[in-house]
């Protein structure tokens, strides 16, 4: 039976310099715009995340234009340990609309209760446990609110438009590391909020200092593949690894680690010929 999944999670990028940065410093989340449409309207959410895909090497050639010709593949066990999850693809807008309604409705109740009491007079209270027993649980549900937001970040439309062409997202087999929304890191709710952050530049802004604190680190043994564009770059990368002092964000390399990294190097050029 043909194997359509891998034992690794691939993160693609578009330059050898970006790949070097990942190998030495680890992976950093940044905001990605997810667009959801329902009831003839479109909503945008900027979610801080890192994307991976679960596509065998024999199938990746058709995706390099979309993802890039460079990649690092980390073990799926490493991914599960770091709470990286597969994406849920939704063709039915009801799922997305329900989540959007839940988020907006609970926020509206919070805002209304903060302004007006049952007798029409303004009141003040805390959503922490104490002043109104059970109220904090109603809004926060322990971990349920957090779980709802993570589920929101793990939903993707079955099909969407990419550079003017409709594409089937389902075949990407995407996995995501999602940074939770908290007091220090806010998601960007709405197109205006995302655009204000994104700006008009060709490249996205660098991750904030708070996002950099949520770095995904790894060791040499976690790496299963290092993919470069062509064979000419193999020597360049090997020479660079000779002077490498850290991997995945701080772990000092020894000679065995460097040998292991070198053994993981493969090129798109070679993959096209051998797979």
Q: What is the mean pLDDT of residues 202-213?
A: 92
Count of domains forming the chain: 1
- Report yes or no on 1 lying in a domain: no
Check whether 1 has a pLDDT greater than 50. no
> For residue range 50-108, what is the model confidence (pLDDT) as tens digits?
999 998 888 887 778 788 899 999 999 999 999 999 998 887 666 666 666 666 656 66
Per-residue HEC secondary structure of the chain comes to CCCCCCCEEEEEECCHHHHHHHHHHCECCEEEEEEEEECCEEEEEEEEEEEEECCCHHHHHHHHHHHCCEEEEEEHHHHHHCCCEECEEECCHHHHHHHHHHHHHHHHHHHHHHHCCCCCCCCCCCCCCCCCCCHHHHHHCCCHHHHHHHHHHCEEECEEEECCEEEEHHHHCEEEEECCCCCCCCCEECHHHHHHHHCCCCCCCCCCHHHHCCCECCCHHHEEEEEECCCHHHHHHHHHHHCCCEECCCEECCHHHHHHHHHCEEEHHHHHHHC
- Report yes or no on 187 lying in a domain: yes
- Report yes or no on 2 lying in a domain: no
> For residue range 222-248, what is the model confidence (pLDDT) as tens digits?
999 999 999 999 999 999 999 999 999
- Report yes or no on 73 lying in a domain: yes
- Report yes or no on 105 lying in a domain: yes
141 alpha-carbon distance from chain centroid: 25
- Report yes or no on 240 lying in a domain: yes
| Cα–Cα dist 56/59, whole Å | 6
- Domain of 49? 8-274
Check whether 210 has a pLDDT greater than 90. yes
* pLDDT for the residue numbered 55: 87
Least confident of 35-39, 153-157, 166-170, 190-194: 35-39
Q: How confident is the model at residue 115 (pLDDT cuts 50, 70, 90)?
A: low
* pLDDT for the residue numbered 269: 85
Q: Say which residue, 201 or 52, is predicted with more confidence.
A: 52
- Report yes or no on 157 lying in a domain: yes
> For residue range 138-178, what is the model confidence (pLDDT) as tens digits?
555 555 666 677 777 888 888 877 777 888 888 889 999 99
- Report yes or no on 68 lying in a domain: yes
Q: Say which residue, 123 or 160, is predicted with more confidence.
A: 160
């Amino acid at each position: 039976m043909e194997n359509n999944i891998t034992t690794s999670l691939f993160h693609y990028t578009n330059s050898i310099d970006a790949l070097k940065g990942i190998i030495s410093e680890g992976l950093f989340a940044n905001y990605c715009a997810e667009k959801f449409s329902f009831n003839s309207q479109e909503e945008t959410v900027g979610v801080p995340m890192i994307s991976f895909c679960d596509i065998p090497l024999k199938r990746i050639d058709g995706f390099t234009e979309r993802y890039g010709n460079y990649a690092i593949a980390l073990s799926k066990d490493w991914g599960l340990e770091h709470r990286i999850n597969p994406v849920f693809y939704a063709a039915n807008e009801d799922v997305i609309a329900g989540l959007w309604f839940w988020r907006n409705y609970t926020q509206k109740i919070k805002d209304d209760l903060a302004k007006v009491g049952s007798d029409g007079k303004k009141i003040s209270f805390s959503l922490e446990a104490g002043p109104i027993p059970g109220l904090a649980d109603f809004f926060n549900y322990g971990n349920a609110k957090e779980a709802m937001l993570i589920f929101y970040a793990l939903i993707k439309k079955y099909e969407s438009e990419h550079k003017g062409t409709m594409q089937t997202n389902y075949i990407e087999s995407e996995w995501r590391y999602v940074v939770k929304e908290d007091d220090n890191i806010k998601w960007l709710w709405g197109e205006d909020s995302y655009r204000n952050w994104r700006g008009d530049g060709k490249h996205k802004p660098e991750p904030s200092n708070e996002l950099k604190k949520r770095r995904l680190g790894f060791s040499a043994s976690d790496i299963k593949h290092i993919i470069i564009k062509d064979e000419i770059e193999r020597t360049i990368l090997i020479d660079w690894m000779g002077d490498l002092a850290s991997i995945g964000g701080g772990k000092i390399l020894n000679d065995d680690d460097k040998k292991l990294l070198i053994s993981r190097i493969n090129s798109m050029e070679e993959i096209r010929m051998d797979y």
